[in-house]
Structure 1
Amino acid sequence: MITRAITLLALNLFFASPSEADSVNLNVLVDGIKQETGTIVVRVYNKDNWLSDAPLQTASLALPADYSGSAVTIPMDIALGNYAFTAYHDLDDNGQMNKTVIGLPAEPVGLSNDHKPRFGPPRYRKAEITIGSDTSEIRISLD
């Protein structure tokens, strides 16, 4: 009886615990970098918090003093699911994306799924991508 209870408890813990298969190591390749200073910032959103001040996850990479390229790779560990990613180049390292007087980005910005909004704010469904167990890299191009 005790052996059966221990076995059931162990099985319950095994199936209730998240496994490594529930997340992936994702490389976010950000290209279109035109200045060699500042910080590249990547933010991850779901449908409910799209473009809020509280992204699900944020990763950043300060460009080293000897940087001379046009792309960087930022590693992230992310749970499987549907997300939209934003990236921007914080040119002045003030920790936020600068905007124009009418609210448009004043620093280079890009979205997942190569979404480039023409009028109005970016749409989550157009930037949404599925991160599956076989996803190892996504690309975001800065404009």
Structure 2
Amino acid sequence: MKKLLFTITVFAMSFTMNAQEETGITLTVVIQNVLNSEGHILSGLHNETTFMKAEGIKTSKDKAEAGELILTFENIQPGDYAFSVLHDANDNNRMDFATNGMPTEDYAMSGESLPMGPPTFSDAKFTIEGEDKELTLRF
């Protein structure tokens, strides 16, 4: 009897634990126009607190492959976010700039505006609500 009770308890716990792991929303980011296979693609999902100040709340580092890259981030809670991506061709883990201040590596940012200078969170902001979301960014 104890063995049966133990088995039922473990079985019920496995369902509860799996349900907790599957909460939140899935964000799929399609990055188009990766020009070559040099280096890595660095990306980050940010909230207003981390945007342009700290590591994203979800990040990835993927080997660059010419063409298109699809990234998936799971268990995202509803709210306002911004997404940034950099093709770090020389693998130095940062964006490189020319002497005139212009970036020398490909990058993309969520949002609709094309600001002159560094973007603000409101420039790059998008909202995740109650369902899965897909973003398409182009280098």
TM range (shorter): 0.7 to 0.9
Q: Which runs of 5+ in 2 are unaligned?
A: 1-15
**Compared CA separation, residues 90 and 134, structure 1 to 2 (3 A):** same
Supply the distance in 2 between the matched residues of 1:89 and 1:29 (Cα, whole angstroms).
14
| RMSD over aligned Cα atoms | 2.2
Alpha-carbon distance, 1:121 to partner:
1.4
Q: 1:105 aligns with which of 91, 103, 118?
A: 103
**Compared CA separation, residues 19 and 26, structure 1 to 2 (3 A):** same
Task: State the partner residue of 2:13.
Answer: none
3-state SS, counterpart of residue 125 of structure 1: helix
The total of aligned residue pairs comes to 120
Q: Does 1:39 align with 2:40?
A: yes
Q: Which runs of 5+ in 1 are unaligned?
A: 1-13
CA shift digits 1:32-71 (9 cap, x unpaired): 21112221111111112220133222112113xxx4x421
Q: 1:133 aligns with which of 104, 107, 130?
A: 130
Supply the distance in 1 between the matched residues of 2:70 and 2:21 (Cα, whole angstroms).
25
Deviates more, 1:84-93 or 1:107-116: 107-116
Letter matched to residue 134 of structure 2: E
Supply the distance in 1 between the matched residues of 2:135 and 2:81 (Cα, whole angstroms).
12
State percent identity of aligned pairs.
24
Letter matched to residue 67 of structure 2: S
Q: Does 1:115 align with 2:113?
A: yes
3-state SS, counterpart of residue 45 of structure 2: strand
Alpha-carbon distance, 1:116 to partner:
2.1
Task: State the partner residue of 2:8.
Answer: none
Supply the distance in 2 between the matched residues of 1:116 and 1:45 (Cα, whole angstroms).
18
TM-score with structure 1 length normalisation?
0.72
Task: State the partner residue of 1:62.
Answer: 63
**Compared CA separation, residues 49 and 102, structure 1 to 2 (3 A):** farther
Task: State the partner residue of 2:9.
Answer: none
3-state SS, counterpart of residue 47 of structure 1: coil
**Compared CA separation, residues 47 and 108, structure 1 to 2 (3 A):** same
Kept in 2: contact 1:40–1:60 (CA 8 A): yes
Task: State the partner residue of 1:11.
Answer: none
Letter matched to residue 71 of structure 2: I
